[in-house]
Every structure is written in C-alpha cells, then in structure tokens.
C-alpha cells in the first residue's frame, strides 16, 4: 500500500476492498489503511478540532491549497483511523462545491461498510462526514479559509429606517389602545423575525442534544451551534472560535472568570480595580472574590463630565493590581469608555483586564484584538438575540490556564472512579446541557446587525437621543446625566425634581411608552450622582422620530401637571 493517503484514491480503495470477503478482512484492511495517514500534529488535537459524536476520539483539520481544501485527520482507534483515511482520500484536494456534491453515502454502500460497522461506529462516521461538509459550506461562503487579524465585515444591505417591520412586537397595540413605544432597549432589545424563525425551526426540525449522539438530528444541531460560535468569533474578531465560551449571560460569564481565573490567581492583598460606572454584575462577583481571597477592591472615579478619571486611574495602577474590570459603555450614562487606553495601561502594570461589553455590543464594532482585552463578556438579549445565552471571550492562554468551574457532562474527556480529565477549551467551561437553541439563534442576530451596520445603528440612536434631549432639557426641574450625545450611545437618563421616578415611569406607561426606572443595577453610580433612582429612556435603531415626539410631549405634560 502507498505511503501517503493522498495517493490512495477512492478508486483504489474500492478495488482493494471489493476483493475482501469477510468482515475480519475488511477490518484488517481499515487498520492497514489507517497507517497510511500522514502524521497529525499533537498541537492540533484540540477540542475545537475534535469530531463530536464519535465513539472514539477523532480530530480533523483543513487548510486551503488554492481553490481546494486539504484535510488532515486521525483517531485513537486503529480501525477508525481507516475510516478517517477513506474520508481524507475522498474529500481532499477538491473545491468546496465538489465536496458538497460528492456521493459519499454511495461510496460507503460500495465499500459495504454497514455490513461490519456497529451502530455507534456508523453514527460516528456520519458525524465525521458532517464535520467535513460543514467546513466545505463555510469555505463556500467565505473568501478565505482562516481568520486574519482583521475581520472584513460585509457591506450593510438593509436601511436602518426600513427595518421596523422585521420586529413584530413593535406593532403591538396595548390594552389601553395606545401603540407601543419601546424605549427600554438598554435593558433588553427586541427580536427580529429571523431570530424568532431560527428558534422555531430548530425546535420543529432538528432539535437534539449537542456534542453527544451521532444521529442525524444531533449532528445538525451540533453543527448549527458551532456555526453560531464561529459567527460570534468573527463578529468580535477573536483569533479562534475556541476562545468563545457559551454561558447563560454577562453575569454568568463574569462569575465564571471570578471563580475559574480569580480563585486560581488572586491572592491575599492583591488589588482589583473597578469603576464607579459598573453594573452590579461587574461588581458583586469581584466583591465575593475579594471576600474569599482577602483581596482589596479600589474604585476608579468619574469626572464631572461623566467620564472615567484617567489621571486617577494611572495613579491607582501599581504592582499589587492584578485585575481591572471595566465596562465599555455605561448602562446608565451611555458613556463610551476608551477601553484600549485603559487596557494598555493595565498591561504595563502587569494586570489582566475584563471588559463588560454588554452595552457596547448592540451599537458599535467590538474588536477584541484591537482592544487587546484579556476577557470580554456580553449577553445575547441586548443584541437582538434570545435571553439565557451569553458569551465569554478569553485569550487562549488564559482559558487554558483556568480550571473548569462547573463539573458534569460535556466538560470532560474521561471520567474514572479515581477522577476525571477535563476537556479542552472552550468545552471545559460548558458543563451540562447548554442553552442550545438560544446559542444557535445568536447567529441570525449577528447577521441582522451586520446587515444594517454598526455605524448606521449608532448614528440613528444619537439622532433620536439628541432630539429627545433638546425636547426636555429646558423644562423646569428636569436634570439629565451623561456626556454629550456624540460621546455616548442612545441613552437618556434623567430625573424630574419633585416627582418620584416610579411615578414618571407609570405615567409614561399609561401613554404606551416603556422606559426603565430605578437604580438600573448600578447603585454605586447612583450614590456617586447623589440619586436614589432615575429614569432612563434608551433608543435603538428601530425606534422612530414619532416615538421620540410622543416621549417629549409626555414628559412636558408630566412637568406641567407637577404638584
């Protein structure tokens, strides 16, 4: 037999297997065929390259050679290596469209594989085929096989002013006869039809658990979930989809880092820097960590112009600072922070930086490589996606150094009575059954944002926010908090002296206008501003000038009727 599988074509395999009569002879041939595979680098045996759904461990990678794809693969089971060799020989050195059109099932019938493969082996073989086909599909729709340092975003093809029809909830008439004006987008966005349809389709057509079984539904659902992981990696310009961990949301992501990284690396007397702008989800986990480890939390103040105090931050950085946790955008003020500047300063001091991008991801380009963020977290429900799903991005070296936080299924490579071996990243941090459909639906959410373009999104928000600002700024007793419109997202936070914020929210609700009232899960910031609560109107690209006019007129009426 030839020394390289690339010279053992499918015609040769057909001919040689046709001369074999017994199952034992075919198994022996597969073992011999597996020995012809080219060496597979140990460094490539990562969780991201593993073929999920196989009884044995199987790893598969691909690279481009001109317009063609070349596959490399291996397995820890000798006979399975032979099956792998068949796939490598059948699919390598073909264009993506040729791979997708290749009659692989017909080949399996010709080789009479079903006559001696167990059901589990057959399911695993199908999973290998699905992995190959998914790679070909991705290559067919992309201009390059691997991510470069800068993600080239597709050109927007949807007008920001024509998208409202895509959001069914926005056309709702409320029980009081008022049409809904949804101005609570900083709390959660609404979902377009494409996201809703993908979730429905997943439940109706191919729902199954992922990363486990080798049957058709499991393979389809696993591929859809991993395609979504790749979509998120592209969207934030991660170096690899293995740096993307699915979590239950921003809060869960931060808690994961606090436990898996913080418990491992934070020591007694270490310092953690937070900012006065932080959401409770980026405060309480660090307070809990400090309590467990004896660390000290210090606070970067804000200035009178609602910006982070850079001079104070520089003075606070020292050798004892091990972590800086900061928001990219304030959920109360809308302030867009200079993340890269803060990251660079922290890195010079030897600190790791976690960026809370929950309020940034819906509005503007978030590039983890440009930021040089060590960790970055966000939630799906603020960016047109479902609730109950979030993302933790971590640099590969940091994730590799972190032990698993939760134990259970899916996060292991092997379990014995004596102990367990944890899986590679990202799966070691995804114990149990994931929010599968929610994860899948992140991809259409990302696709929708890209179809509009972040520049158009932020420009529309600022247009609406500025109009609302001008409409109420001169009203007596109205005080607003936040920087200039061109320094923030579409958030307008205010109070009306003499009227409780809850009452303001109630009066607006009677007019069909939904805003947020309270401390917005940012009590330290409200204390810094001398407030117990505030009102927050937050605009998004699907809001209209007519809704802003309704909001302004309603606030004017509230102020006029104040007692």
Q: Which residues are catalytic?
A: 521
Residues 6+ apart with CB under 8 A from 469: 480, 485, 492
Rounded Cα distance, 490 and 551, in Å: 14
Residue 94's H or E segment, with its range, is none
Contact 214, 118 (CB under 8 A): no
Q: Which of 453, 359, 332, 365 is nearest to 151 (CA)?
A: 365
Task: Give the position of tokens 């206008």.
Answer: 513
Contact 234, 147 (CB under 8 A): yes
Rounded Cα distance, 150 and 147, in Å: 8
* Structural Rg of the chain based on CA atoms: 27
Helix axes 501-510, 545-560, angle to 10 degrees: 120
Q: Which of 332, 363, 362 is nearest to 537 (CA)?
A: 332
**What Å distances lie between residue 242 and 218, 230, 231, 265, 383, CA to CA?**
20, 9, 12, 22, 21
Question: What DSSP state is assigned to residue 204?
Answer: I
Contact 403, 421 (CB under 8 A): no
Residues 6+ apart with CB under 8 A from 486: 462
Residue count (the chain):
563
∠ at Cα 312 (306, 315), nearest 5°?
165
Rounded Cα distance, 195 and 440, in Å: 9
Contact 541, 452 (CB under 8 A): yes
Rounded Cα distance, 259 and 544, in Å: 43
Rounded Cα distance, 317 and 324, in Å: 9
Q: Which of 193, 353, 159 is nearest to 261 (CA)?
A: 353
Query: What is residue 181's three-state secondary structure?
Result: strand
DSSP string, 215-274: SHHHHHHHHHHHHHHHHHHHHTT-S-GGGEEEESSHHHHHHHHIIIIIHHH--TT-EEEE
Rounded Cα distance, 134 and 224, in Å: 9
């Amino acid at each position: 037999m030839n020394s390289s599988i690339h010279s053992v074509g499918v015609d040769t395999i057909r001919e040689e297997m046709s001369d074999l009569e017994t199952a034992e002879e075919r198994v022996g041939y597969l073992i011999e065929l597996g020995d012809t595979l080219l060496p597979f680098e140990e460094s490539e045996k990562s969780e991201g390259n593993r073929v999920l759904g196989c009884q044995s461990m199987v790893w598969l990678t691909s690279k481009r050679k001109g317009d063609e794809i070349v596959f490399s693969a291996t397995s820890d089971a000798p006979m399975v290596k032979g099956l792998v060799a068949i796939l490598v020989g059948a699919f390598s050195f073909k264009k993506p469209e040729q791979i997708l059109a290749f009659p692989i099932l017909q080949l399996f019938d010709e080789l009479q594989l079903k006559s001696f493969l167990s059901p589990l082996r057959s399911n695993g073989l199908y999973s290998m085929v699905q992995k190959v086909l998914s790679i070909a599909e991705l290559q067919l729709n992309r201009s390059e096989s691997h991510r470069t340092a800068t993600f080239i975003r597709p050109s927007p093809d949807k007008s920001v002013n024509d998208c409202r029809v895509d959001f069914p909830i926005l056309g709702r008439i409320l029980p009081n006869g008022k049409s809904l004006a949804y101005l609570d987008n900083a709390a959660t966005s609404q979902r377009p039809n494409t996201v809703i349809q993908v979730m429905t389709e997943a439940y109706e057509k191919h729902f199954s658990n992922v990363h486990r079984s080798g049957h058709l539904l499991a393979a389809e659902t696993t591929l859809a979930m991993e395609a979504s992981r790749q979509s998120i990696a592209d969207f934030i310009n991660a170096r690899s989809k293995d740096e993307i961990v699915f979590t239950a949301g921003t809060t869960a992501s931060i808690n994961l880092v606090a436990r898996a990284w913080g418990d491992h690396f934070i020591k007694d007397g270490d310092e953690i820097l937070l900012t006065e702008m932080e959401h409770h989800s980026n405060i309480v986990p660090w307070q809990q960590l400090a309590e467990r480890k004896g660390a000290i939390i210090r606070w970067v103040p804000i200035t009178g112009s609602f910006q982070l105090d850079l001079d104070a931050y520089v003075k606070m950085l020292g050798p004892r600072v091990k972590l800086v946790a900061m928001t990219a955008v304030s959920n109360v003020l809308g302030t867009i922070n200079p993340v890269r500047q803060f990251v660079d300063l922290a890195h010079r001091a030897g600190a790791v930086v976690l960026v809370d991008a929950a309020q940034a991801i819906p509005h503007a380009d978030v590039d983890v490589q440009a930021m040089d963020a060590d960790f970055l977290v966000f939630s799906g429900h603020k960016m047109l996606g479902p609730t109950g799903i979030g993302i933790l991005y971590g640099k590969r070296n940091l994730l590799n150094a972190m032990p698993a936080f939760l134990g259970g299924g899916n996060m292991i490579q092997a379990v014995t009575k004596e102990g367990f071996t944890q899986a590679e990243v990202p799966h070691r941090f995804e114990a149990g059954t994931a929010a599968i459909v929610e994860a899948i639906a992140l991809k259409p959410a990302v696709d929708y944002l890209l179809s509009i373009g972040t520049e158009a999104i932020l420009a529309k928000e600022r247009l609406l926010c500025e109009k609302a600002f001008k409409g109420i700024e001169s009203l007596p007793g109205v005080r607003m908090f936040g920087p200039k419109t061109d320094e923030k997202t579409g958030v307008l936070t205010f109070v009306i002296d003499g009227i409780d914020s809850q009452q303001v929210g109630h009066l607006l609700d009677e007019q069909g206008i939904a805003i947020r009232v309270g401390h917005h899960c940012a009590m330290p910031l409200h204390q810094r501003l001398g407030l117990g609560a505030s009102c927050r109107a937050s605009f998004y690209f699907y809001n209209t000038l007519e809704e802003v006019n309704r909001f302004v007129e309603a606030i004017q009426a509230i102020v006029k009727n104040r007692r």
